[in-house]
Structure 1
Amino acid sequence: MKTLENSLICGTLAFGFYLPLLAASLETVTIPEQLKSAVAKVLVSTTSCSVTCGLGFKVEEICQIDPHGKRSHCNFRRSDCLTNWICGLLHFTVPIGKPFKLSCLTSEMIGVGSQAFIYTWRLARGIITTDDLLFKPFKTPSYVIKLSPAKESDAGTYRCDVQLMKTFKLVKRIYFGLRVIPNDLVNLNFQKSLTLEQKLAANEKEGNQQNDTSVIVQWHQQSWQRRALLVFLIGIGSGVAGGVLVVCWLPAGVQRHVELVTNL
């Protein structure tokens, strides 16, 4: 009984404490006249990030909105965005002696300013991997590694980490798998193995219209020859069919006369 009495007393005290607060919340809230005419700047739309990994940018539209919801004085601004800082592995095959370079910055990041980032390169020599335990420091202060020319000893996986200069925040990590092979090991000229359709697509991409024109003319000539042969065969068939019909419809006397003349 004492427990029940204590519960009732606690409940009464709590109700008495919250009752003034409840009554205050039920009162009508008066909005000041200054707020009724206030205008606020609101973000109304934004584009997706310009890149799928690493630091990119997006364009935002900001407008002034009055209490009636009308937009005015809209403007656009460009802001940084980061969807994913891991960019995966890219593969490259380079012949020995050919100049080659690796860059861990995109055009969007270069637009921000290459001096705004810190670059850390590491190398797993001789293998293609993403195991971070196999990488050793590779000293270079730039975001570009230039191989001029590429040597067989340059083969391996290069890892580039990009950090913001102000906050040291990691905004990008990308791996470059590089194979350096002798020139006589593989014939890298794949033009010989292309089909006619692939050659046409390659010529169109490179702007070489001469080969395309000759192939089209040859195709039209073959098509015209096929149509001429079809018309010739239709003419012969029509003549034979017409002769048979004439013979079948001639009177019997005329047919005998024709047979006698034929026998003579």
Structure 2
Amino acid sequence: MKTLENSFICGTLAFGFYLPLWAASLETITVPEQLKSAVAKVLVSTTSCSVTCGLGFKVEELCQVAPNGERSHCTFRKSDCLTSWICGLLHFTVPIGRPFELSCLTSEMIGVGSQAFIFTWRLARGIITTDDTLFKAFKTPSFVIKLSPAKESDAGTYRCDVQLMKTFKLVKRIYFGLRVIPSNLVDLNFEKSLTWEQKLAANEKEGNQQNGTSVIVQWHHQSWQRRALLVFLIGIGSGVAGGVLVGTVVYFLLQARKK
């Protein structure tokens, strides 16, 4: 019983507290005359981010908007945008001895200036992975790793983290899976590795394909000739039928005129 009484008392006090606020909200709000004629600069449109991951930019349109909704003095500005800071894994295959570069900055970020960022490289040597527990620090101060030339020991996964210099905010993480293979594997001659039976089967298959192609071309040619003959006959028949019809009409008209 006491619990019910306490609940009733609390509810009454709460109602009494919020009642003045509710009543005050129903009062008419008067807008000053200065605000009625005020002009505000409002963002009216914006483009999508220039990149799907990492730091990019978008173009925004700002206009002065009057109380009646009229726009004037519109200007455009470029501002930074960040859709996602994770850029996934990119795969590369490089022959041994060939120069190669890995860069974790896009043209948009280079336009901002490389001095505005902090770059941290890590390497999982010999494997392609995105498991961060397998990476070890790879010391380089630049946003570019230059392999000149690439060696087999350079193979592995390189991870680049990009942070803003002012706030240390992480704005990009990208993985580079690099395979370094012997150069003779790149120019592998497939035909030399075939046996005599495989070469014979390949030649027969190529001959059958050529014969099939010639048969199809010949069939299309004959089909075209048949269609041309049919159109010619239809044209002659239509001309003859039209001439007979016109002659018949003229004959009956002459007979009617004589009568």
The yes-or-no answer on 1:180 pairing with 2:180 is: yes
Q: Hey, what does 2:56 align to over in structure 1?
A: 56
Cα displacement (A) at 1:20: 4.1
Letter paired with 1:186: V
The number of equivalent residue pairs is 201
Give distance in 2, aligned partners of 1:126 and 1:110. Answer: 30
Range with bigger deviation, 14-23 or 98-107? 14-23
Give the 3 Å change call, closer, same or farther, for CA 114–189 of structure 1 in structure 2: farther
Cα deviations by residue, 1:118-144 (Å, 9 ceiling, x for unpaired): 000011111111111111111110000
Q: Percent identity?
A: 85
Counterpart Cα distance in 1 of 2:126 and 2:14? 75
Distance 1:67 1:152, change over 3 A: same
Question: What is the CA-CA distance between 1:115 and the residue it aligns to?
Answer: 0.4
Residue 155 of structure 1 corresponds to which residue in structure 2? 155
**2:32 alignment partner AA:** P
Q: In structure 2, how many angstroms separate the alpha carbons of the residues matched to 1:146 and 1:189?
A: 30
Aligned to 1:30: 30
- Partners in 2 of 1:16 and 1:177 — Cα distance? 68
Measured at CA, do residues 230 and 108 of structure 1 come closer, stay the same or move farther in structure 2, by a change above 3 Å?
same
What is the CA distance between 1:29 and its match in structure 2?
1.8
SS in 2 for 1:38: coil
Give me the whole-angstrom Cα distance separating, in 1, the residues matched to 2:116 and 2:107: 14
Q: Report what 1:41 is aligned to.
A: 41
The one-letter code matched in structure 2 to 1:69 is: G
1:166 aligns with 2:166: yes
Q: Which residue of 2 aligns with 1:244?
A: none
Alignment-mate amino acid for residue 41 of structure 1: K
Larger mean Cα displacement after TM superposition, 19-28 or 174-183: 19-28
TM-score of the pair, normalised by structure 1: 0.67
Q: Which amino acid aligns with 1:100?
A: F
> Which sections of structure 2, spanning at least 5 residues, go unmatched?
191-216, 234-259
Q: Distance in 2 between matches of 1:75 and 1:105?
A: 29
Query: Matched residues in 1 for 2:179 and 2:10: separation?
Result: 79
Moved more, 124-133 or 5-14: 5-14
Deviation digits for residues 94-134 of structure 1 (CA, Å, limit 9, x no counterpart): 11111110000000000110000000001111111111111
Contact map agreement 2:95 2:186 (CA 8 A) in 1: no
Paired residues for 1:221-232 under 5 Å: 230=225
> C-alpha distance in 1, partners of 2:178/2:148?
14
SS of the aligned residue for 1:31 comes to: coil
- Relative to structure 1, the CA distance from residue 31 to residue 97 in structure 2 (aligned partners, 3 Å threshold; closer, same or farther) is same
Say if 1:186 and 1:41 are closer, same or farther in 2 by CA, change over 3 A.
same
2:69 paired residue number: 69
Structure 1 unaligned spans of 5+: 191-221, 239-264
TM superposition shift of 1:4: 6.9
- Offset at residue 31 of structure 1 (A): 1.0
Tell me, in whole angstroms, the C-alpha distance in 2 between the residues paired with 1:52 and 1:168: 21
* Aligned-partner Cα distance in 2 for 1:5–1:125: 73
Are the aligned partners of 2:118 and 2:163 in contact in 1 as well (CA < 8 Å)?
Answer: yes
- Cα separation, 1, equivalents of 2:110 and 2:86: 18
* Cα RMSD for the two superposed structures: 3.0
The answer to whether the Cα contact below 8 Å between 2:159 and 2:176 also exists between their aligned partners in 1 is yes
Cα deviation, residue 26, structure 1: 2.7
Q: Helix, strand or coil for the counterpart of 2:185?
A: coil
Counterpart residue identity of residue 187, structure 1:
D
Query: SS where residue 45 of structure 1 aligns?
Result: strand
For 1:95, the equivalent position in structure 2 comes to 95
**Alpha-carbon separation, structure 2, partners of 1:133 and 1:60:** 41
The SS at the match of 1:53 is: coil
State which drifts further: 21-30 or 89-98: 21-30
Where does residue 116 of structure 1 map in the other structure?
Answer: 116
Query: TM-score w.r.t. structure 2 length?
Result: 0.69
